[in-house]
Amino acid sequence: MVVYSHNPLIFHKEGFLLSFLMYSTDGCHLCDVAEQLLIEVLDCTKHQVDVVDIAFDDQLLEKYGATIPVLIDEASQEALYWPFDQEQLEQFVDRVSAIG
């Protein structure tokens, strides 16, 4: 499930939601794998992810075309580049949670 908001930290009844962008594009097998990993690891009551298709933005395509999927924490702008596994994703989320 993808939930979008312009505010990287949204107040939720149980606290703040961490907001992430995942740069991706249609037909990207690695992006599909990363998205499944996000679904398995992230808690929808604490995290939200907006999937951004870089194919529609020349600057994003130039910057991330060879590195997608890329997960960006909207508050800190820290990035997690593929390849990453469950442990690396959890460490990234813990690290950006501590920053926010």
Walk me through the domains of the chain, giving residue ranges and CATH numbers: 9-99 (3.40.30.10)
CB atoms within 10 A of CB 1: 6
CA distance 18 to 73: 8
Residue-level pLDDT at 99:
81
List average pLDDT for each run of 10 residues in the chain, which is 100 residues long: 41 69 96 96 93 96 96 96 97 90
Are 20 and 72 spatial neighbours (Cβ–Cβ below 8 Å)? yes
pTM: 0.83
Return the sign of the alpha-carbon dihedral for residues 95, 67, 74, 45: negative
Q: How far is CA 59 from CA 1, 19, 40, 53, 55, in A?
A: 26, 22, 30, 12, 10
